[in-house]
Structure 1
Amino acid sequence: MKLRSGARIAVAGAGALGSAVALRLAQRGFRVTVFDPSPGDANASSVAAGMLAPVSEALFDPASRNHLDIMKRARDLWPDFARVLGLGLERDGVRIEGSDAWRSEVASRLGALGEPAGAFIAEDWRIDARAGLLALRGAASEAGAVFRALAVCGFEAGVLELADGGEEPFDTLILATGPGLRQGEITPETRMLSPIKGQILRLAACDDDGAPVVRGEGVYLAPGAVLAVGATMEHGRDDLTPDLEATLGLRRAAAALRRDLDLESATVEVGVRVTTPDGLPLVGWSRTPGVMLAVGARRNGWLFAPLVADMVAAYLTGDNLGPDAAAMDARRFEKPKT
């Protein structure tokens, strides 16, 4: 379905994916309104280290292992995207640290991926997630998008249903949020999504700006204005309550790498992400008329943001969808008809 410029688009979710989609669509002349009841600093996209790290993800997350080429193409969109946002892009890479046995295992995995088997990954980058979200929202607003602190409850026949009981006309709804919409109330495809609770520790300002991210066994240390120590992946959990017991392994792994870290003073931040069975987001038209999906990026929302935004814009304008549309097709998990 191709839409005319000026069509009214509702986006549910103001995280990395939703805000990037809003920016791209507003730039193309659509009338975009983003709905999200959560404050910006409570969004899962702000509870992140801002990793744009395809090789590290393929190394350490089995669900991402078969998607290295797609993740690299997504990362390659970031230099231009960051430039438009006026956002710093940290290209300091990732350094592998740990026991000889563990580093040997990582080297073997790198070789299996066709990557150089050294202790440094130069092509993994990162951004400041909080600054990135502010920059995205600012750019989207400047392009004409409107952000409203309301949840979306439904969409039918061009009418958007909102949590305050209101109804408003929109041509299309784009679902870019997972929490609260996984039961298929709006689209059947969201039943494929499952939650992952992630907890990240943040420590007082460090002097490591310009240093690489350090990856150890079961932990990463991402320098910046504060040190990010992450992150847990608690499958099936969607609560936002800090859980000390769940972070014990993370704390032990961090202490093994840096004995001088004051982990007792660390603050804990919690975010909930959603994932598909294969680890790639759902992007494309739903079976529900007028609804498009851009959701389920696992822990790669930042990495995939410009790729997903461009793909959504291509669906709505009739442009070339690019080489990754089939892999991310929103209806790929449907059972074939017999």
Structure 2
Amino acid sequence: MNVQTGARIAVAGAGALGSAVALRLARAGFSVTVFDSAPSGENASGVAAGMLAPVSEALFDPVSRDHLDLMRRARDLWPAFAEDLGLEIVRAGVRIEGSESWRGQVDRRLRDLGLPSAATIAEDWRIEARPALRTLRAAAEAAGARFEARLVESFAPGVLRLSGGGVEAFDVLVLATGPGVRAGRLAPETAALAPIKGQILRTDAATDDPAVVRGEGVYLAPGETLAVGATMEVGRDDLSPDASATQALRAAAWALRPDLDLGQAEVEVGVRVTTPDGLPLVGWSAAPGVLLAVGARRNGWLLAPLVADMVAAYLNGDNPGPDADAMDARRFEEPET
């Protein structure tokens, strides 16, 4: 499908994927409006630690283990993307700490990935998530995109229905939000998505060390505050803090830093969605006029520039690149008999 420049594009979701898509499309000359009912930054992308960490994901998330090359290609788009926006990439890497036996397990996983043993994974980076969201939104608005705090209820080409009964005319809906879209409500392919509730602890603990520390069952990410994360509660999509679920997280953090004060730590909750293979759905839906960019699991920030470029290519009828098959929006469809 080739959509003419200047077409009216609705983007559902103002997280990393939706905001990057909005920026890319607005700069390409499309008329873009982003719809998200959540306050700015209060989504999974805002709660996240902002990791751009392909090796760490392949090491510590079994679902992502086979996607290292793709994730590296996505990360390699970030230097130009960040420079254009004036965003800082923190390149201090991810340092592995923990018991000798656990570090031995990590070494074996590195070898299985064809990588040398290392105490610090230098090629894994991070950004500050909430400031990055604000910067993306400002850049998209400067390019002509609009952001509205409303929820998309339904879509057919030319007719977008919003919460509260509003109806607006749009040519295409880009679905870039996770919670609330599963079970095929806006696109049948979203029936393949499952929610993952993630809780992060944030504390004002000061550190001069810019590196992320990765231990068994936990990471410590410095920044505006120290992020201690994160739980992975598959199948849960509520946003309520749950002390029972963060107990193991606290224990793992104290195993690394016994003096860390987590008594007054703030608990932040986000809900991500994932596909069975851990890669997002990107491409045209079977639903007319709906383009998918959803389901990035823990890698919304990492994949944002890549997905934005792919969405623009699909709209323009161009080649979406070497990762189109791996992220094909309809790859989980049941074969016809």
User: How high is the TM-score relative to the length of structure 1?
Assistant: 0.98
Residue 156 of structure 1: CA displacement?
Answer: 1.3
* Aligned-pair CA distance for 1:225: 1.9
Separation (CA, whole Å) in 2 of partners of 1:205 and 1:325: 42
Which residue identity is paired with 1:298? R
**Cα distance between partner residues in 2 of 1:327 and 1:291:** 19
Secondary structure of the 1:337 match is: coil
Residue 20 of structure 1 aligns with which residue?
20
What is the deviation of 1:320? 2.1
Q: 2:8 is aligned with what amino acid?
A: R
- Match runs of 1:40-119 below 5 Å: 40-119=40-119
Q: Aligned partners of 1:177, 1:191: CA distance in 2, in Å?
A: 14
Show structure 1 runs of 5+ residues with no match. Answer: none
Residue matched to 1:289: 288
User: What is the CA distance between 1:205 and its match in structure 2?
Assistant: 4.7
Contact 2:44–2:270 at 8 Å: present in 1 too? yes
TM-superposition CA deviations, 1:254-299 (whole Å, max 9, x none): 0000011001121100000000000000000000000000000001
Q: CA deviation at 1:177?
A: 0.5
Alignment deviations for residues 19-67 of structure 1 (CA, whole Å, 9 cap, x no partner): 0000000000000000000001311100010000000000000110010
Native 8 Å contact 1:206 1:225 kept in 2: no
Contact 1:46 1:129 in 2 (8 A): yes
Task: Give 2:264's aligned residue.
Answer: 265
Q: Does the Cα contact within 8 Å between 1:23 and 1:140 map onto a contact in 2?
A: yes
Aligned-pair CA distance for 1:319 = 2.0
Letter in 2 for 1:212: A
- Output the amino acid matched with 2:287: T
- The one-letter amino acid of 1:6's match is G
1:239 is aligned to 2:238 = yes
Q: For residue 221 of structure 2, what is the amino acid of its counterpart?
A: A
Alignment of 1:139-150 (within 5 A): 139-150=139-150
SS for the counterpart of 2:325 is: helix
Mapped partners of 1:157, 1:301: distance in 2: 27
Quote the Cα distance in structure 2 between the aligned partners of 1:15 and 1:186.
18
8 Å contact kept, 2:157–2:172: no
Residues 150-190 of structure 1: CA distance to partner in whole angstroms, max 9, x if unpaired? 00000113210101111111010000001111021111001
Q: How far has the Cα of 1:12 moved from its partner? A: 0.3
Which amino acid in the other structure matches residue 127 of structure 1? Answer: I
User: What's the CA shift string for 1:48-96, capped at 9, x where partnerless?
Assistant: 1000000000000011001000000000000001011111000000100
CA contact (8 A) 2:157 2:170 kept: no
Distance across 1 between alignment mates of 2:40 and 2:270: 12
TM-score between both structures, scaled by the size of structure 2: 0.99
Partner amino acid, structure 2, of 1:247: T
Q: Deviations over 1:91-116 (max 9, x none)?
A: 00010000000000000000000111
| Contact 2:204 2:225 survives alignment (8 Å) | yes
Measured in 2, the distance between the counterparts of 1:205 and 1:308 equals 35
Cα pair 1:25 1:313 within 8 Å, conserved: yes
Quote the RMSD (CA, aligned, Å): 0.8
Q: 1:17 touches 1:309 (CA, 8 Å); kept in 2?
A: yes
> 1:137 is aligned with what amino acid?
R
How far, CA to CA, are the matches of 1:60 and 1:269 in structure 2?
22
* Aligned counterpart, 2:8: 8
Q: CA deviation at 1:146?
A: 0.1
8 Å contact from structure 1 (residues 205, 225) kept in 2: no
Matched, 1:31 2:31: yes
Q: Alignment length, in residue pairs?
A: 337
Q: Aligned pair 1:137/2:137, yes or no? A: yes
- Equivalent residue, structure 1, for 2:197: 197
Percent identity over the alignment?
Answer: 72
Q: Is the 8 A contact 1:49 1:129 kept in 2?
A: yes
State the one-letter code of the partner of 1:268: V
Tell me how far 1:9 sits from its aligned partner. Answer: 0.1
SS in 1 for 2:41: helix
Give the Cα–Cα distance (whole angstroms) in 1 for the partners of residues 107 and 205 of structure 2.
32
Give the structure 1 partner of residue 326 of structure 2: 327
Residue 161 of structure 1 aligns with an amino acid whose one-letter code is R
How many Å separate the matches in 2 of 1:59 and 1:255? Answer: 22
Q: What is the CA–CA distance in structure 2 between the aligned matches of 1:207 and 1:61, rounded to whole Å?
A: 27
2:18 aligned partner, one-letter code: G
Runs of 4+ in 1 over 4 A off after TM superposition: none
Instruction: Give the Cα–Cα distance (whole angstroms) in 1 for the partners of residues 208 and 276 of structure 2.
Output: 37
| Correspondence for 1:214 | 213
Distance between the aligned counterparts of 2:21 and 2:193, measured in 1? 20
